[in-house]
Structure 1
């Protein structure tokens, strides 16, 4: 892996536009089992729900064997076969609204490589800036990790025990229908989320993998459900351990003593930590 060559992509940028239409909002509400009123023009988009827009529209011939777009183009051509969403950091300056036309500017901020327990790893950090009618609305840093092909005999990382002192929790038992609906809503062709023979025989995971962004959305949805009048000003999250179908897990949250933030995490049924996050409130 020629890291110096990959670093030439730093600063690469692209811009696009999209309209915040009502249907994806209604569809994600149904997927999350929410009883929201039908959205109307002017309604504020919930934090993270901008992920329903600016979807990747690569032609079928431009896709790789894993269902992702082939390497190169905007993202650097990292020569490692497995790609995952590792985490991110977001600032919500003002809400995007249904009916708005929004612009998005994406820029490669950094590219790094290292050797870990499972072999070579590459990390790409992308910044996205979303602007609506009133100016900059969301600034996001998105961390992508690339890994070597899995070995059939590989073992996962040692589990880290998740905390159990939550103020609120929600039990979720993911199934293929939930993953399919979220993949469809985000036009995510990555086969690890819906193709059981592929994810088990090719990538050597035990079952379908729950999307990292879906877990992040569930975490902030917990805040919305328990603090409906709060405004989220920033959110950061990091994946710790994969979550698989049909593994029961708990979406957990604990408000800080001063009420200005919420610590959030995903705990597997066996007690292992899967994701950590922090939401700052204003």
Structure 2
């Protein structure tokens, strides 16, 4: 752990222009008419997850499709890496034509023990701006765990409730593949069925955490009529492409409680939006 904690304070800076073509492809992925985005037009929230991703050589990817360990992120010696959750504070909109810059910093590295074995959590803070204009501040929580984590829990989890607002999203390999392509994410659990079932032991393709978070934020925006100023989310259990995904919300004053689930299944991701 002392070696891994040596990564605390490590920084990385990346930038990329926001093109109209990226906005069109992002909208189309979420079954929204692509339209004709013009310079200066506000881009969809969470589009920044598609920007300035590391261009790692294919030969430098690990067996799971992730970049090999030990670059910006610490070389945690646990095989599974998942995006566990995070929180965002929005200061302004990203706009078509902006050059978006992200400054990332490793904030913390901690070791915990769960019922499936050791868990290593890495917290990363991102500051995103465009031409000096603050766009958002984000905390990203990454968890590393062992392969045994795919086993069936001893006690069946409680099924998720149905929200006051509820939408059903049809999951498909093309949807997951498109989102992986948009975010330049090579993680094989999202598109390689033989790998995810035979090596990692899951029953189907795993739905991206950021994809679920985007669906939840889009529902929150549709309900409230405006995007939230603050948004946080946490992954609780995996969701797979073997069944539709329900996206739920229940109002509570200026806050909106949100969650995703499979029909009859437990909460996959919980979230909260604030205005």
Whether these two folds match at TM > 0.5 is yes
Task: Tell me which residue corresponds to 1:272.
Answer: 266
The structure 1 residue matched to 2:58, chosen from 47, 60, 68, is 60
Q: Counterpart in 1 of 2:76? A: 78
| 2:242 pairs with 1:246 | yes
- 8 Å CA contact 1:173, 1:246 repeated in 2: no
Equivalent positions of 1:1-282 (< 5 A) are 3-150=1-148, 154-156=151-153, 158-164=156-162, 166-228=163-225, 230-256=226-252, 258=253, 260-281=254-275
- Deviation readout 1:134-165 (Å, 9 max, x if unpaired): 5211100001000112378x21474233232x
TM-score relative to the length of structure 1:
0.93
Distance verdict in 2 for CA 1:37–1:227, change over 3 Å:
farther
> Displacement of 1:261 after TM fit?
1.9
Q: Distance in 2 between matches of 1:38 and 1:87?
A: 32
- 8 Å CA contact 1:159–1:241 kept in 2: the answer is no
When residues 101 and 34 of structure 1 are mapped into structure 2, their CA distance, relative to the original with a 3 A threshold, is same
Deviation digits for residues 90-131 of structure 1 (CA, Å, limit 9, x no counterpart): 000111111011211000000011221111110000011101
**1:206 Cα deviation after fit:** 1.1
Question: Could you list the runs of 5+ residues in structure 1 that have no partner in the other structure?
Answer: none
Q: Distance in 1 between matches of 2:100 and 2:137?
A: 13
| Distance in 1 between residues matched to 2:224 and 2:23, nearest whole Å | 20
Q: 1:71 to 1:112 in 2, by over 3 A?
A: same
Distance 1:243 1:151, change over 3 A: closer
Whether the 8 Å CA contact 1:239–1:276 is kept in 2: the answer is yes
User: Bigger shift: 50-59 or 71-80?
Assistant: 50-59
Deviations 1:187-241 (A, max 9, x none): 110000011111111111111100010000000111233333x241110000111
SS where residue 206 of structure 1 aligns? coil
Shift of 1:72: 0.1
**78-87 or 50-59, larger mean C-alpha shift:** 50-59
What is the TM-score when the length of structure 2 is the normalising length? 0.95
The number of aligned residues is 274
Computed over aligned residues only, the root mean square deviation of the Cα atoms, in angstroms, reads 1.5
Higher alpha-carbon deviation: 34-43 or 114-123: 34-43
Q: CA deviation at 1:267?
A: 2.3
